[in-house]
Amino acid sequence: MKKDNQGKLFSILAGIGLLALSLVIPDLLEQWRRIIVNALENSIWQEDKGLLMLAAAQVVAHNSVVMFPNVCGSLVLTYGFTIKGYNKLLRYGLPPVLLNLFNYLAFKQLDYWPPLAVPALVTALAALLAWRSGLGSTGLVPLTLIPALIVLSINSLSVSPYLADYGLARGDLSWETVLAGKFLKGENLLNSTAITFFLILLAMALVATELIALHRRRLRDAEELRKYELQYQHAQFQVQELRVIQEMHTLVHDLKTPLTTIQGLNSLLQMALRDEQLKHYTHHIEGAVDNLNKMISEILYDDVRKEVSVAELIKYVRAHVLVEVRGQKITFHLSEHLPLLEVNLIRLARALINLIENAFTATSGVREGRIEVKAESNDRGEVIFTIADNGVGIPEHLLEDIWASDYSTKSASSGLGLGFVKRVVENHHGVLDIESQPGRGTIVRVMIPGVRRHDQNSGN
């Protein structure tokens, strides 16, 4: 939105500049005007209708050049005043007023006061076609090409003797051309040529309008199709992710059946055994089954929490990653006196493991690839896990997208990715932060609130 408003503000300045240019153009074209007058006089002296037609073509071109900055400037200014927030009277009323004001000021220098109908007709027609083709949305083409064709087509009629009395003869050059045509008995030639060129140029403007509008519609359709494709891919990935999670939950839930059987049989053994050593073994089995049940609950239910130390969490993470892979080295650093965490151990550990696995992927093609995992605390009682690598890095324009659930830098990806990491961290009221430079590496920080004891907060 800000960029769009800046573009429209530029349009306002450009429109004012074009209107100002329309005031000085008559002076800039004074030499050309004298050449046209001499050409008209030569056609009369030599009684040559061919010279008259060449001079008439120059008159049309001259009048079009004088009018074009005025018309185009008014259209550009009108586009600029479509910025949201401007008063409607100012937005739609000021440009037409400026158009006619500058039009009169420009032609006053030529000792001619044109009727209001001519600039109003030209501007209305040019504006209609420019808006039809997509004013402001397809660049400068509808703001220049279409008004130029309209201006040329209308000014073609300015040398028609038949239409001169209806206000279409613009300035002394047009009237001198009409008078020269009457003197040389070339009124029919001027009329037929003027009307023919008017129809041709008007048809070209209409065709150009439709072509630009068609191109605009195709671009819009292509953009809509791209959005639908992205939405379809996103939905497809979400379905795949839900299927994976559902299958995982089903498999994990199925583990409870044999565990229940083991737990029941173990209880029977405890009651039947007399040997204290064997009973001791059954207590170990019972403890292991209880721990496994707790792990299953943490996998199945995100809101399951328990207090763990950072050392216990990192120990679990280290047990599931390779310390060294194809020359890649990973190191762990834990600060002292870290606060306890109340977390879902399995899910948070899985999130950290995913980040470490991504670091392995980023350093797989790097000589002496290094991955460093640190855990430290800040003065707010948060534990900050930092995963840093010297891998390929991530381009800046992709940093906003990497936490999307369907984002992947791999050609084929399944399972739980960075979207899972973000959900787990946010469910623990944590914060994710990432810094990356292509070719230099990536640093990811995961901040998780620590457990606050009442005795620690007694002074607050």
Helical spans, DSSP H, in 301-417: 310-318, 345-362
Number of separate domains in the chain: 3
The answer to whether residues 359 and 435 belong to one domain is: yes
The one-letter amino acid at 41: E
E strand segments, 299-452: 306-308, 324-325, 328-334, 341-343, 370-377, 382-389, 431-437, 441-449
Q: Residue 457 falls within a domain, yes or no?
A: no
Report helix, strand or coil for 29.
coil
Q: Is 103 exposed, middle or buried (0-12, 13-18, 19+ CB in 10 A)?
A: buried
Question: Sorting pLDDT into bands at 50, 70 and 90, what band is 139?
Answer: low
Q: Residue 456 falls within a domain, yes or no?
A: no
Domain boundary among 206, 228, 250: 228
3-state helix, strand, coil in the chain (%, to 5): 65, 10, 25
Amino acid 275: pLDDT = 77
- Name the residue with higher pLDDT: 458 or 8: 8
The answer to whether residues 201 and 58 belong to one domain is: yes
Q: Percent of the chain, pLDDT > 70?
A: 70
Domain boundary among 305, 333, 365: 305
CA 338/CA 240 separation, integer angstroms: 38
Q: Residue 364 falls within a domain, yes or no?
A: yes
CA 408/CA 439 separation, integer angstroms: 19
CA 71/CA 77 separation, integer angstroms: 10
- Asked whether the whole model's pTM tops 0.85, one would answer no
CA 220/CA 11 separation, integer angstroms: 23
Range with the lowest mean pLDDT among 28-32, 147-151, 203-207, 413-417?
413-417
CA 403/CA 161 separation, integer angstroms: 72
Question: CB within 8 A of 358, min separation 6: which ones?
Answer: 418
Question: Sorting pLDDT into bands at 50, 70 and 90, what band is 445?
Answer: very high
The answer to whether residues 300 and 311 belong to one domain is: no
Please tell me what DSSP assigns to residue 309: -
Residue 373 has pLDDT above 80, yes or no: yes
Q: Residue 210 falls within a domain, yes or no?
A: yes
Residue 72 has pLDDT above 80, yes or no: no
pLDDT digits (tens, 9 = 90+) for 238-278: 677 677 667 666 766 666 677 778 877 778 777 787 777 87
CA 116/CA 363 separation, integer angstroms: 73
Domain boundary among 257, 283, 305: 305
The answer to whether residues 329 and 379 belong to one domain is: yes
The answer to whether residues 220 and 274 belong to one domain is: no
CA 422/CA 347 separation, integer angstroms: 11
Q: Residue 136 falls within a domain, yes or no?
A: yes
User: Could you tell me which residues are beta bridge partners of residue 308?
Assistant: 341
The answer to whether residues 320 and 436 belong to one domain is: yes
Report helix, strand or coil for 450.
coil
The answer to whether residues 398 and 255 belong to one domain is: no
pLDDT digits (tens, 9 = 90+) for 434-444: 888 888 889 99
Residue 228 has pLDDT above 80, yes or no: yes
Residue 33 has pLDDT above 80, yes or no: yes
Q: Residue 459 falls within a domain, yes or no?
A: no
HSE toward the beta carbon, residue 180, CA cutoff 13 A:
30
CA 163/CA 177 separation, integer angstroms: 13
Q: If you write DSSP's letter for every residue of 237-288 in order, what string do you get?
A: HHHHHHHHHHHHHHHHHHTHHHHHHHHHHHHHHHHH---HHHHHHHHHHHHH
The answer to whether residues 338 and 275 belong to one domain is: no
pLDDT digits (tens, 9 = 90+) for 396-406: 777 776 766 54
Structure tokens at 91: 């937005």
Q: Residue 458 falls within a domain, yes or no?
A: no
The answer to whether residues 102 and 205 belong to one domain is: yes
Residue 88 has pLDDT above 90, yes or no: no
Amino acid 410: pLDDT = 47
Mean per-residue pLDDT, 280-295: 74
Q: Residue 455 falls within a domain, yes or no?
A: no
Question: Sorting pLDDT into bands at 50, 70 and 90, what band is 447?
Answer: very high
Helical pair 276-300 and 345-362, crossing angle rounded to 10 deg = 70
Amino acid 150: pLDDT = 81
Cα–Cα nearest to 158, from 34, 36, 31: 36
The one-letter amino acid at 33: R
The answer to whether residues 388 and 423 belong to one domain is: yes
The answer to whether residues 323 and 298 belong to one domain is: no
The answer to whether residues 85 and 184 belong to one domain is: yes
Domain of 49, in residue numbers: 2-228
